[in-house]
């Protein structure tokens, strides 16, 4: 009889590398016991409560050093429930294009970082439904305040709020704006002083909140300096200006009509760059034939060819001011806060403008 053998099952033992679990972060109680301090003192310092500054600098330094040593991580959810603060802010912008937006947002980001806040940012792309819905959606995410960047405030925000480049009389809102009257006057006075009388005046698209006021002030300044303001020298960009292409196309079509001018006062730097390209394609040199002034002083303005003469808006400072005013409203709700903060623009003269060539004066025969 044949003996059958059962197959031997080999038991394979796998040894996995045992990794030490990271130490569990300590809480306020453990840190207080380690330092021999009260729980209240430790909590005030680590939560940056204003009263914590009554403690000595040495005590504050000991607490912060211990928190780092013991890998302390605050429970933000618990803190938001107890303090009703999420330490987050909502930023509502028209778009996230390069130029104006990025410079303002840099100021916002730096100031929020210094203040210990995070932020949500949304772009409504000029859609009316989103302009109305985004404030509500951000409130549902428990933000402590709102920043409206080049965005209308359609309804009372219901939270501390600040607007940038948009003036509103809504209570509980501070508007951070730039003196547009000074800016337009600086631009046209510069061209006037260089001898330019026939200047193409460029109006921004109607969706831009500053367009209407800046255009009105531009016409006032042009009349003050006795410049021609006929319809052939007034040009409107009728779409959202996020690239130089629209201004390039509009100025090209305008040049094709035969109109002549020696200067351009553009709505912003982006449109100025588009205008310079259109002039070049038409055989005109900037600034030899036509001087061009922009508005904003975006990052590329000083590196374009020619380097752009422009009206500098303090874009990053606008962002910082907005955050400072917003945090003041959040932290001191019962105080009186300014309804408006007005910043000053300045003329930055570079290579895109020059004095108008004048015909030589004929000498009288002696």
pLDDT at 50: 65
- DSSP assignments along 306-329, one per residue: SPPEEEE--HHHHHHHHHHHHHHH
Q: Tokens 């050093």 appear where?
A: 65
Under CATH, which number does the domain 180-314 receive?
Answer: 3.40.50.2300
* CATH topology classification for 83-178+316-343: Rossmann fold (3.40.50)
User: Each residue of 314-338: pLDDT tens digit?
Assistant: 999 999 999 999 999 999 999 999 9
Fold identical between 83-178+316-343 and 180-314?
Answer: yes
353 three-state secondary structure: coil
Any residues with CB less than 8 A from the CB of 206 and at least 6 apart, and which?
A: 212, 238
* CATH topology classification for 28-74: 434 Repressor (Amino-terminal Domain) (1.10.260)
User: Each residue of 220-245: pLDDT tens digit?
Assistant: 999 999 999 999 999 998 766 678 99
pLDDT at 22: 44
pLDDT at 339: 96
Q: Quote the CA–CA distance of 331 and 50 in Å, as a whole number.
A: 10
Give, for all 366 residues of the chain, the pLDDT tens digit. 555 555 555 544 444 444 444 455 567 788 888 899 888 788 778 877 666 777 898 988 998 888 888 887 665 555 554 456 788 999 999 988 778 999 999 999 999 988 888 999 999 988 999 999 999 999 999 999 999 999 999 999 999 999 999 999 898 999 999 999 999 999 999 999 999 999 999 998 877 888 999 999 999 999 999 999 999 999 998 766 678 998 999 999 999 999 999 999 999 999 999 999 999 999 999 999 999 999 999 999 999 999 999 999 999 999 999 999 999 999 999 999 999 999 999 999 999 999 998 654 444 443
Q: Quote the CA–CA distance of 290 and 276 in Å, as a whole number.
A: 9
Q: Quote the CA–CA distance of 89 and 98 in Å, as a whole number.
A: 22
Domain ranges in the chain are 28-74, 83-178+316-343, 180-314
Rg of the chain taking only CA atoms, in angstroms: 30
């Amino acid at each position: 009889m044949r003996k059958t053998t059962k197959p031997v099952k080999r038991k394979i033992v796998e040894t996995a590398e045992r990794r030490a679990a990271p130490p569990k972060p300590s809480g306020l109680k453990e840190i207080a016991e380690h330092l021999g301090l009260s729980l209240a003192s430790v909590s005030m310092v680590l939560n940056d409560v204003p009263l914590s500054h009554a403690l000595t600098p040495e005590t504050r330094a000991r607490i912060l050093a211990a928190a780092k040593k013991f890998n302390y991580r605050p429970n933000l959810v618990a803190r938001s429930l107890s303090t009703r603060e999420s330490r987050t802010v909502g930023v509502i912008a028209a778009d996230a294009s390069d130029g104006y937006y990025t410079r303002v947002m840099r100021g916002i980001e730096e100031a929020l970082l210094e203040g210990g806040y995070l932020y949500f940012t949304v772009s409504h792309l000029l859609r009316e439904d989103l302009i109305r819905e985004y404030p509500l959606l951000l409130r549902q995410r428990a933000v402590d305040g709102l920043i409206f960047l080049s965005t209308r405030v359609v309804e009372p925000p219901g939270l501390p709020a600040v607007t940038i480049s948009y003036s509103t009389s809504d209570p509980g809102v501070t508007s951070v704006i730039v003196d547009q009257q000074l800016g337009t006057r600086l631009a046209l006075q510069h061209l006037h002083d260089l001898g330019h009388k026939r200047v193409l005046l460029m109006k921004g698209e109607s969706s831009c909140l500053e367009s209407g006021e800046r255009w009105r002030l531009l016409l006032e300044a042009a009349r003050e300096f006795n410049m021609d303001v006929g319809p052939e020298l007034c040009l409107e960009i009728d779409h959202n200006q996020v690239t130089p292409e629209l201004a390039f196309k509009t100025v090209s079509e305008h040049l094709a009509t035969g109109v002549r001018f020696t200067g351009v006062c553009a709505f912003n730097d982006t449109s100025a760059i588009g205008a310079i390209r259109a002039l070049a394609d038409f055989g005109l040199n900037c600034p030899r034939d036509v001087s061009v002034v922009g508005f904003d002083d975006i990052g590329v303005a000083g590196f374009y060819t020619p380097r752009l003469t422009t009206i500098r808006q303090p874009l990053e400072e606008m962002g910082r001011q907005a955050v400072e005013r917003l945090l003041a409203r959040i932290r001191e709700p019962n105080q009186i806060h300014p309804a408006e903060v007005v910043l000053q623009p300045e003329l930055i003269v570079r290579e895109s403008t020059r004095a108008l060539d004048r015909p030589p004066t004929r000498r009288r025969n002696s």
